Structure 1
Amino acid sequence: MFLELKNTSIGYNTPLISGVDTSLKLGEICLLVGNNGVGKTTLIKSILKQNPVLEGEILLNGEKVDELSNEQIARNIAIVFSKSVIPVNYTLRDLISLGKYIHYPYYFELSQEDQQEVEDIINDLNLMQYRDFQLTQLSDGNLQKAFIGRALAQNSPMIILDEPTTHLDEENKITILTLLRKLAKSHHKVILFSSHDWRLAKEFADKMWFIHNKSIDAGITEEVLLRNNELLNPQLFQFTDQFIAPEIFAPELHKEMLYSFLQKNFQKNLSDLKFEFKETFWVISKEHIQHKCDSFEEMAQYIQNLH
């Protein structure tokens, strides 16, 4: 195993996460998921030796992280945080080239091979037209991709990314996640990335670390999801006492969307109604009366007339 956590507790004065026993091997891509404040970034910082563990140990390629130098950790792990300092007067190509200097003194010139690898990374990220742009000229999405490119150029066996797709649209999210999976499989890298967008990210991750109740549920992505129903079935939040929900029979996503729509538009008791989704339309029932609706707008007008 390349990364191992053994009976590890992570936090500051008190543990945020306790008793973690899990590992990742070369070639695996792992999604780290959990609500804000549960310890995702703290866990990442502990793996990087930026925050000491409270109990247990973290091993990197068989060696204790707390016994490695910063240079040794940097050679083994490339990191992309969701918020990074933007170097002044650097172009996109300059930023990605910085990933190479972990292997050389800063005053060295990159070899032809290194420069070609930088160009290949820029091309893989669909950034060729921006390669000579100043970083301040880039959109948030392209800037994030550039920082990911710097991590790729580092050629470390492990890459950690903290919310790497935060500023990206759906197309660029897929580009990044596809590239990360390709790297993990073809170059035998360990990829650990955190994301709130797990519905998309799960398609690319072999393993999942789900942080909740001060512990980590770790395993094959699909098995972790099946063990944690709250991830697949979002809670329906009620923010007003005036709204009383009707019965809704529909797939979870449709149910969630209808609940949201009704609560925002009807501050009243709708418990005498039943809603059922029929593949392409809704049926509203009240006592022995049924009404078909093709849209939420039509549904709203019908309910208004009933009440």
Structure 2
Amino acid sequence: MFLELKNTTFGYKNPLIQEVETGLQLGETCLLIGNNGVGKTTLIKSILNQIPVLDGEIRLQNKQIKDLSNKEIAEQVAVVFSKSQIPANYTLTDLIALGKYIHYPYYFELTDEDKVEVEEIIYSLNLSQYTNFPLQKLSDGNLQKAFIGRALAQNSPMIILDEPTTHLDEENKIIILKLLRKLAKTRNKLILFSSHDWRLSKEFADKIWLVNDGILDAGITEDILLKHDELLNPNIFHVNEGFVPPQIISPALHKEMLYSFLQKNASKNLSTLKFEFIDPFWLISGPDFQQKCGSFSEVADLIANIG
């Protein structure tokens, strides 16, 4: 086991995540998920030995993290935080190349092989057109990708990313997550990343660490999702006091969209109606009628005419 958490409790003065017993192997990609404030960043910083654990221990390659120097940890673990300090007067290439200097004294120059690898990382992140751009002129998304590039250049066996896709659009999220998974499988790296975007991220994660109510539930992605129904079923929020919903028979996402639409557009009791989604239309049944609607506009017209 490359990373082991042995009866580990994370927090500051008070525990945030208690008695964690789990681990991860090289070649695995793990999604760390949980609401804001549950301790995800604290857990990450503890793995990096930036925050001491309250109890138990963390081991990297069977060595306690607290016994390793900062350089030894950096050689084993590269990290990307959601907010990073931007070095002054650096170009994109300078920042990514900085990941190489963990292996050299500061006065060394990169080898030709290092420079080629930096160029390959830039290309893989779809950043070639920004090679010599000052960091201050990059968009938030491209800047985030540049920091991810620096972590890749570090060539550590493990990469930790705290909300790596926060500033990215859907296309670039997929580029990053595909690249991380490819690294895990082809270069035998361990990838641990936190995200709120579990609907997308779950497709790329072998395992999930779910933090909830002070407990970390760890396991194969599909096992964790099936154990926690709240992750798969979207919340339906009731914000219209005059609205009483109908019976809705449909997939969860369609149900969420219909519920949202109806309560914004119908401040009335619809409990006598039944909505059934039969792709591509809604079959709407009442006490004395049945009608098909192919769009929400048609649904709105129907609801408006119901007393």
Q: Which amino acid aligns with 2:185?
A: K
Written as runs of structure 1 = structure 2, the 5 A alignment for 1:71-90 is 71-90=71-90
**Shift in Å at residue 266 of structure 1?**
2.1
Q: Secondary structure at the match of 2:6?
A: strand
| Residue of structure 2 in register with 1:177 after alignment | 177
Letter in 1 for 2:245: A
Q: d(CA) in 1 for partners of 2:193 and 2:159? A: 8
Q: Which one is further off, 66-75 or 233-242?
A: 233-242
Question: 1:73 is matched by which residue type in structure 2?
Answer: I
Equivalent AA in structure 1 for residue 127 of structure 2 = L
Offset, 1:271: 1.3
Q: Contact between 2:80 and 2:161, CA under 8 Å: does it hold in 1?
A: yes
Partners of 1:288 and 1:32 in 2: CA distance:
51
1:122 is aligned to 2:122: yes
TM-score, structure 1 length as denominator? 0.98
Residues of 2 paired with 1:288 and 1:72: CA distance?
74
Q: Aligned pair 1:138/2:141, yes or no?
A: no
> Offset of 1:239 from its aligned partner?
2.1
* Cα deviation 1:231-263 (Å, max 9, x = unaligned): 001221112322221111000010011111112
Cα deviations by residue, 1:73-107 (Å, 9 ceiling, x for unpaired): 11111000111111111110000000011111222
Structure 1 residues without counterparts, runs of 5 or longer:
none
* Residue of structure 1 equivalent to 2:31: 31
1:169 is displaced (CA, Å) by 1.2
Q: Structure 1, residues 171-213: CA drift from partner, whole Å, max 9, x if none?
A: 1111111110111011111000011111111111111101112
Residue 240 in structure 1 maps to residue 240 in structure 2: yes
For the pair 1:102 / 2:102, whether they are aligned, the reply is yes
CA distance in 2, matches of 1:238, 1:50: 42
Q: Which residue of 2 aligns with 1:68?
A: 68
Partners of 2:93 and 2:153 lie apart in 1 by 11
Q: Distance in 2 between matches of 1:167 and 1:267?
A: 37
Matches within 5 A, 1:115-264: 115-264=115-264
Runs of 4+ aligned structure 1 residues displaced above 4 Å come to none
- Structure 2 CA distance for aligned equivalents of residues 40 and 170 of structure 1: 23
Question: The residue matched to 2:58 in structure 1 has which SS?
Answer: strand
2-structure distance, mates of 1:46, 1:267? 50
Q: Are the equivalent residues in 1 in contact too, given 2:240–2:264 (CA < 8 A)? A: no
Q: Which residue of 1 aligns with 2:277?
A: 277
Moved more, 8-17 or 145-154: 8-17
Contact 2:8 2:57 in 1 (8 A): yes
- The alignment covers a number of residue pairs equal to 307
Letter aligned with residue 118 of structure 1: V
Is contact 2:207-2:221 (8 Å) kept?
yes
Query: What secondary structure does 2:263 align onto?
Result: helix
| Alignment partners' CA distance in 2, 1:62 and 1:26 | 13
1:68 Cα deviation (Å)? Answer: 1.2
Equivalent AA in structure 2 for residue 2 of structure 1: F
**Aligned equivalent of 1:42:** 42
For the aligned residue pairs, the C-alpha RMSD in angstroms reads: 1.0
Bigger drift between 209-218 and 151-160 goes to 209-218
Letter in structure 2 aligned against 1:104: Y
Determine the C-alpha separation between the residues in 1 that align with 2:105 and 2:265: 63
Deviations 1:213-244 (A, max 9, x none): 21011011011101111100122111232222
Q: State the TM-score, normalized to the length of structure 2.
A: 0.98
1:267 and 1:54 mapped to 2: Cα distance? 52
Identity %: 68
CA displacement at 1:284 relative to structure 2: 1.3
SS state at 1:200 partner: helix
Asked if 1:302 corresponds to 2:302, the answer is yes
